[in-house]
Chain A
Amino acid sequence: MKSAVVVFPASNCDRDAAVALEHLTGEKPHMAWHADTDLPDVDLIVLPGGFAYGDYLRCGAMAAQSRIMRDVKKKADQGVTVLGICNGFQVLTETGLLPGALMRNAQLKFVCKPVGLEVEETQSVFTRKYDKGQKLSFPVAHGDGNYFADDETLDRLEGEGRVVFRYAQGENPNGSARNIAGILSEKRNVLGLMPHPERVCDPMLGGTDGVGLFQSLIEALS
């Protein structure tokens, strides 16, 4: 599986994503600079966590306008798999590749802790190696992860099996609508999620629950 990680100014989980990808695929991902016009041909594009452009306007809003995103959007429309983690999820909603928005956390504070998740949907290239209903623990680390969309959109996401991860009962760290932690695009090739799977791919770091996500991708895309 060939992959690329997009680096925006002040991305800060780009290395973490690259380490997890290299560790699990045996191949270094291409690191794509935000000012580049084109991505190479890859099977997976990762938009990593961080504070792209300082998150000074709205999280992800300026990154969504960066030059590289035109190509990411084009490739996503052509069916290339795109994974947006944390700030990457925010960039995806700002780009319109995913519906809804990520608002300030309900408690108005940054939150970093492991949270319980449930895998709700295994019919995707991101989650086929998990079991439906499987309980996972991924860390979150964000100030703006409160997923919001209108009821009609939420109903549609649920009806089409596009809610992939939900926060477990009582574990919603940010007030997200219907405990949503991660969603798919209509064509199911784009996933955005707030928790960090790349930080739980190494037993020394407190868990390996994130490995399943990358192995799903390797199986589906290699």
Chain B
Amino acid sequence: MTDITPQTVREHGLSVEEYGRIKQLLNRDPNLVELGVFSVMWSEHCSYKSTRAHLRRLPTKAPWVLQGPGENAGVIDIGDGDVAVFKMESHNHPSFIEPYQGAATGVGGIMRDVFTMGARPVAMMNALRFGAPDHPKTRHLVSGVVSGIGGYGNCMGVPTVGGEVNFHRSYNGNILVNAMCVGLARGDKIFKSAAEGAGNPVVYIGSKTGRDGIHGATMASAEFNEDSEEKRPTVQVGDPFTEKLLLEACLELMATDAIIAIQDMGAAGLTSSSAEMGSKGGSGIELDLDRVPQREENMTAYDMMLSESQERMLAVLKPGREGEAERIFKKWQLDFAVIGRTTDSGRLIVKHKGAVVADMPVHALSEEAPVYNRPFERRTPASGSPPYDRARPVMDSLVRLMASPDIASRRWVWEQYDNTVMADTVQRPGGDAAVVRVHNTDKALAITTDVTPRYCKADPFEGAKQAVAEAWRNLTAVGATPLAVTDNLNFGNPEKPEIMGEIASAVDGIAEACRALDFPVVSGNCSLYNETNGEAILPTPAIGAVGLLKNVNRMATIAFKRENDAILLIGDTKGHLGQSIYLREIEGKEEGAAPPVDLSAERKNGDFVRSLIEAGKVDTVHDLSDGGLIVALAEMALPTRIGAKIALPATGDAIAFLYGEDQARYLVAAADAERILADAKAAGVSAVLLGRTGGDKIAVEGAGEIAIAALARAHEGWFPSYMGGTELSPSN
């Protein structure tokens, strides 16, 4: 065994204090294998040591929550014994270094988190942030990430039904790839990871172990610099074919009652899966590495314990059921090996070539990981309403916004994802939320991911509230009852007090909004150290959310469906232009206060809109977000090419009214305006009749008009021409 020097400790990303704590817990110096194991288990990525103290403030309970944070994924009750299982997770650092494999294995990892719980994945979403479009690497990264997501998800046969793509220069050196997976299961067939009981066989299933991805978790817990691309060997390579077999084999085994516990091997592979299972079950685990299926020769214990080879699972079976399980895995042509057993020693003991190469208390690895109350400074939120040119022609700006990188159609992206496989996709990408039917029922899940990072930069607290509110609104806009949230907190270096302040404020914002909207957080992931050469990304607390449509036949979509429908605006408009897309794209200003979020108005307005959809009074709804009212109106006109004519209010500025990004608002279209206005009055909800659908233009009385065909060209044109390599003028 190599002697541990201060440099070895440093290279493992451990501080002097942390190393001292390890020695104390072991009552001796660790050997290199043990040091490696501690280093990944105590990494930010695995231990959440900087955020754990804050995450405790998130609401995680509701009567319909069957499993909150702490398992591989959250579980919610969706009635009739059915449950939805979901989680969102980042694969940011690997995707920047090797975009195709980084994104692909991100998809594979989150799918395993869901099917390890016994659920069949039924929908994928992803929230992607790239650098400025004119940055030399952006095109390459977009291309690689999108084809990586498609390459993995398409082969798995799970539809990728939507997500977000944004561009901002703050992501030039740290893109974000957050993937969300939603699965379905029966409530009485949920599998967990607690390895209870002694003497039970520990089995290894899936792919063979290679040297790929060693120290991936440690890489994800450090800032980037110019040398980061040299870390390419630590990015894992995905094999969706094997994962598809693993999915089917696991579900087949799960249909028996042979499993006590099961856990996927994700970050920190064999180390974290065995330590977490042992720790949760209050047992010990003994592993014999000679029995681990190996892809390469002469692998050391260190290699095997830290490998992040993909498509692997660890399970604890009931004694005597090994043969049955092995038959299933052989049928699916997967490796299967009994590599150890559970014990009552409370220790993780690793043997290799007949010798004990590691012997550590299980709880020390997972439960004794350091928790830091890092110093933090809450920033004073940006304030004020920046001036803008009130004489600028309104409709010219609309064309520019429709063709701007953050609003242009994402068709180029989603057409590379199989979004209709499994034959249950009721709403494809392009609407407010994706809708996927629960197989063989009239129920459906609505799914969305949301966050507006520029709001979060200006005001982490209000911005995080807004992310939750917008997710809730998007689910509501299709007619779903929002049920629960998974959060993916992407931030810079938590050792900087201003970044830690962003995290603390964002967690508070999420907590307040989730509480007010009965929208608990059931799973999540943190990705910190998203900095390159000291420059942090915009704070990006991405919110993935799931809602339930009890009757999929009562659903709304954004597209105008008939001529001469009344167009109504639900919610108050003050004309908030601070931090708007309009200011950024048209005036070149990223300034002012983020829009405030009135959670009681969100709730009241949203409940009202949902009641209209559920009652069958409305089938056309769009939430108002980036670009405000007029962009929403254009998006409603584009799918069916049915235009609209609206009037401006008697007072106030047209630009602020049309482009302001006030929250808690929806546009609805319906034949009968009077009835909806009366219902709104009765509910105490602000609603005004703006105009009517019809024609082939978007027309605003007193502000001009524009042909839908011209808007379509602008909206559809940007992405293909950008990816096709057309020169761009610098923006963002």
Identify the A interface with B (CB < 8 A): 9-10, 12-13, 15-16, 19-20, 49-51, 53-56, 109-113, 139, 141, 143, 196, 198-199, 201-202, 204-206
- Assess the A205–B423 pair: CB atoms within 8 A: yes
User: Which B-chain residue is minimally distant from A112 (CB atoms)?
Assistant: B418
- Assess the A56–B426 pair: CB atoms within 8 A: no
Residues of A within 8 A of B426 (CB): 204-205
CB distance from B107 to the nearest CB of A (A): 14
- Report the Cα distance A123→B327, complex, angstroms: 47
A12 and B421 in contact (CB under 8 A), knowing A54-B155, A109-B147? yes
Interface residues of B in 216-262 (CB under 8 A from A): 239-242, 244-245
- Assess the A141–B423 pair: CB atoms within 8 A: no
Residue B150, interface by CB 8 Å: yes
- Report the Cα distance A172→B681, complex, angstroms: 51
Count the A-B residue pairs with Cβ separation under 8 angstroms: how many? 86
- Assess the A204–B420 pair: CB atoms within 8 A: no
CB distance from B333 to the nearest CB of A (A): 7
- Report the Cα distance A111→B245, complex, angstroms: 24
A51 and B416 in contact (CB under 8 A), knowing A16-B421, A198-B423, A199-B423? no
- Report the Cα distance A188→B428, complex, angstroms: 35
Residue A16 contacts which of B332, B414, B416, B422 (CB distance < 8 angstroms)? B422
Residue B419, interface by CB 8 Å: yes
Residues of A within 8 A of B553 (CB): 204
CB distance from B111 to the nearest CB of A (A): 13
Residues of B within 8 A of A199 (CB): 420-421, 423
The 4 closest A-B pairs by CB, nearest first: A12-B157, A54-B241, A51-B155, A141-B418
- Assess the A204–B241 pair: CB atoms within 8 A: no
CB distance from A110 to the nearest CB of B (A): 5
Residues of A within 8 A of B414 (CB): 112
- Assess the B417–A112 pair: CB atoms within 8 A: yes
Pull 28 A–B residue pairs with CB atoms less than 8 Å apart, ordered by A.
A9-B241, A9-B332, A10-B157, A10-B240, A12-B155, A13-B157, A13-B421, A20-B423, A51-B155, A51-B157, A51-B244, A54-B155, A54-B241, A54-B242, A109-B416, A110-B154, A110-B416, A110-B417, A111-B416, A112-B416, A112-B418, A112-B419, A141-B154, A141-B421, A143-B154, A199-B423, A201-B423, A206-B428
Residues of B within 8 A of A54 (CB): 155, 239-242
Besides A111-B415, A111-B416, A112-B414, 15 new A-B residue pairs in contact (Cβ under 8 A), listed by A number: A9-B241, A15-B423, A51-B244, A54-B240, A110-B150, A110-B151, A110-B418, A112-B154, A112-B419, A141-B154, A199-B421, A201-B423, A205-B420, A205-B424, A206-B420
CB distance from A47 to the nearest CB of B (A): 15
CB distance from B105 to the nearest CB of A (A): 15
Residues of B within 8 A of A112 (CB): 154, 414-420
Residues of A within 8 A of B332 (CB): 9
- Assess the B423–A12 pair: CB atoms within 8 A: no
- Report the Cα distance A206→B435, complex, angstroms: 13
Q: Interface residue count for B (Cβ, 8 Å)?
A: 32
A205 and B416 in contact (CB under 8 A), knowing A13-B157, A56-B241, A110-B150? no
Residue A12 contacts which of B239, B244, B415 (CB distance < 8 angstroms)? B244
- Assess the A9–B333 pair: CB atoms within 8 A: yes
Residues of A within 8 A of B465 (CB): none
Residue among B151, B240, B417, B421 facing the most chain A CB atoms (10 A cut-off): B421
- Report the Cα distance A139→B333, complex, angstroms: 32
User: Which B-chain residue is minimally distant from A56 (CB atoms)?
Assistant: B241
User: Which B-chain residue is minimally distant from A17 (CB atoms)?
Assistant: B423
Residues of A within 8 A of B428 (CB): 206
User: Which A-chain residue is minimally distant from B154 (CB atoms)?
Assistant: A110
- Assess the A15–B418 pair: CB atoms within 8 A: no
- Assess the B423–A19 pair: CB atoms within 8 A: yes
Identify the B interface with A (CB < 8 A): 147, 150-151, 154-157, 239-242, 244-245, 332-333, 414-426, 428, 437, 552-553
- Report the Cα distance A113→B413, complex, angstroms: 12
Residues of A within 8 A of B416 (CB): 109-112
- Report the Cα distance A13→B420, complex, angstroms: 10
User: Which B-chain residue is minimally distant from A202 (CB atoms)?
Assistant: B423
User: Which B-chain residue is minimally distant from A173 (CB atoms)?
Assistant: B415
Helix, strand, loop or mixed for chain A's interface?
mixed
- Report the Cα distance A214→B552, complex, angstroms: 25
Residues of B within 8 A of A51 (CB): 154-155, 157, 240-241, 244
User: Which A-chain residue is minimally distant from B155 (CB atoms)?
Assistant: A51
- Assess the B420–A196 pair: CB atoms within 8 A: yes
Residue A204 contacts which of B245, B333, B418, B552 (CB distance < 8 angstroms)? B552
Residues of B within 8 A of A139 (CB): 420
User: Which B-chain residue is minimally distant from A204 (CB atoms)?
Assistant: B426
Residues of B within 8 A of A19 (CB): 423
Residues of B within 8 A of A13 (CB): 157, 421
Residue among A20, A110, A143, A205 facing the most chain B CB atoms (10 A cut-off): A110
CB distance from A71 to the nearest CB of B (A): 19
- Report the Cα distance A110→B426, complex, angstroms: 21
Residues of A within 8 A of B244 (CB): 9-10, 12, 51
- Assess the A10–B155 pair: CB atoms within 8 A: yes
- Assess the B423–A9 pair: CB atoms within 8 A: no
- Report the Cα distance A141→B156, complex, angstroms: 13
- Report the Cα distance A202→B420, complex, angstroms: 12
A50 and B157 in contact (CB under 8 A), knowing A9-B333, A112-B418, A199-B420? yes
User: Which A-chain residue is minimally distant from B419 (CB atoms)?
Assistant: A112
- Report the Cα distance A49→B415, complex, angstroms: 17
- Report the Cα distance A148→B417, complex, angstroms: 24
CB distance from B721 to the nearest CB of A (A): 14
User: Which B-chain residue is minimally distant from A48 (CB atoms)?
Assistant: B157
Residues of A within 8 A of B422 (CB): 15-16
Residue among B155, B156, B242, B420 facing the most chain A CB atoms (10 A cut-off): B420
Residues of A within 8 A of B417 (CB): 110, 112
CB distance from B163 to the nearest CB of A (A): 14
Residues of B within 8 A of A111 (CB): 415-416
- Report the Cα distance A206→B414, complex, angstroms: 17
- Report the Cα distance A141→B418, complex, angstroms: 6
CB distance from B258 to the nearest CB of A (A): 21
User: Which A-chain residue is minimally distant from B160 (CB atoms)?
Assistant: A112
- Report the Cα distance A51→B156, complex, angstroms: 8
Residues of B within 8 A of A141 (CB): 154, 418, 420-421
Residue among A49, A113, A204 facing the most chain B CB atoms (10 A cut-off): A204
CB distance from B413 to the nearest CB of A (A): 11
- Assess the A205–B425 pair: CB atoms within 8 A: yes
